[in-house]
Amino acid sequence: MLAVVNCQVTAGEFTYWAYIPFPPLYQGVAWGGREVPVFTNDTAWMPSPFLNQDPELDTGTVNSSYQFGVEGLPICLGGSPHCLHLSHEAWAVRYNHSHISAFTMIVVAQSFKYNHTAVLDETLPSTLSLCPIPDVSGGVSQLEWTRCRSSGPRLLLEVKGKSRKYLVTDWSVHDFQTKFNHVNLRWHIGNHNFPADGNETIIWHDGGLSPPMPHLANTSQIQGHIWKLLAAGKPMFTFVGNMSLNLTNIANPFHISLHRNSSRYVIACVRKPYLLLTGIFKWDNNTGVVNCTNNCTFLSCINTTWWNNNWNESHSDLYILRARKETWLPVNLTRTWS
C-alpha cells in the first residue's frame, strides 16, 4: 500500500509525503527497547522460547557495506568498546546427597564479560526474588531456568553517549570462586578433570539457574534472551563430581573431583521482524548512524559451525536489527494532485 498525504504550508503551496508500510529497511535495536526473543532448538537445557521447526542454517547474505540508524545505545556483542564483551558463565546445580559429600553439576556456556570491581548504586528490582542454588535428587535431564536475582548488580558496559552516560548492568547470578588452592577453575579452558585437595571449598557467591538479564541501569526493561546468541557460538559443557570433606586431613580437608561429562551444541535464532548483522562496524554516537565496513553478513541463526568459521575475536561485532514498520518520504508530483 502506498498513500500520498499533503500538508498545506501557505495558501496555494503544498508539501506531499508518501507513506510506505513495512519497507525493506532495518534499524538497530537499542537498549531500553522491548525484549528481543531468541529461539533455540534445545528444549532440555535452554529456557523458552523454542524453535518449532528446523532452522535454515545458511551462511547468510554478505554485503561489502551496510548503513543503518539507531536511537540510543545500540545492542551489540563483540570487541567494540560500546558492545557487550564475551566471556564464559557457570551455574551450579547441587545434588541433595549428604552433609559430608555433595554431588554437584556445573553448567558452562559462553556468555558476557562482567566488571566485578565496579561499585554500583542501583535500585533493587522489586519483581525479582533472590536465587537459591537448586537442590535436586537423581539425574538432571532438564534444567529449570528461573528469572531471579543475585545479592547485587554487576556492571557489563559503561559508554559515554551524545548527551548522557549509559550503564548496562545485570542482577542475575554470576561470579564464583575461580580458584581452589592451586587449581584455577577456568571451566571454559580445555580442562576435563579437577581433582584436588585444599583448605577451602568452592564458594559460590551467588547460586541458581538464572539467565543473564542485562538492562540499562535503573530501568526495568531487560534483555533476557540475547545471551543465547553467545551460548550458541561455543559448546555448552557440564562438569559433575563430588566436593567432600576429609576430616583426617587437617591441612587440606576439602577434596574436589570434577570431570567434564557432556557437551551440547545449541542453535539460536531470531525471527521476523528481527535480523542479525555481523561484521566490522563503526558507530557514530552523535548521529546514531552505524556503518558496517567489512564482512557484513545478515543472519537469522547462529551455531558453533558458523561461529568457528566466521567469528574474529578481535574485530567481529554482532548487531540486532529490526524491520521498520513504516517510513515517510517527501515526493514531488509531476501533475496536480486530485
The answer to whether the Cα torsion of 95, 97, 102, 103 is positive or negative is: negative
Q: Is residue 233 part of a domain?
A: yes
The tally of domains found in the chain comes to 1
**Residue-level pLDDT at 330:** 82
178 pLDDT above the threshold of 60: no
Q: Is residue 273 part of a domain?
A: yes
Domain hosting 30: range is 26-327
Q: Is residue 133 part of a domain?
A: yes
Q: How confident is the model at residue 206 (pLDDT cuts 50, 70, 90)?
A: low
Three-state secondary structure readout of 145-204: CCCCECCCCEEEEEEECCCCEEEEEECCCCCECCEECCEECCCCCCCCEEEEEECCCCCE
Q: Is residue 18 part of a domain?
A: no
Q: Is residue 335 part of a domain?
A: no
Q: Is residue 92 part of a domain?
A: yes
**Residue-level pLDDT at 11:** 46
- The tens digit of pLDDT for each residue in 307-336 reads 999 998 888 999 999 997 777 778 887 777
**Residue-level pLDDT at 9:** 47
To which H or E segment does residue 92 belong?
strand 86-95
Average pLDDT over residues 252-265: 83
Q: Is residue 66 part of a domain?
A: yes
Q: Is residue 190 part of a domain?
A: yes
**Residue-level pLDDT at 195:** 72
Cβ atoms of 310 and 301 closer than 8 Å: no
Average pLDDT over residues 41-62: 80
**Residue-level pLDDT at 301:** 94
**Residues in CB range of 100: below 8 A, 6 or more apart:** 244, 245
Cβ atoms of 133 and 90 closer than 8 Å: no
**Residue-level pLDDT at 253:** 83
DSSP reduced 3-state for 310:
helix
- The tens digit of pLDDT for each residue in 148-168 reads 888 888 899 999 877 788 999
pTM of the model: 0.83
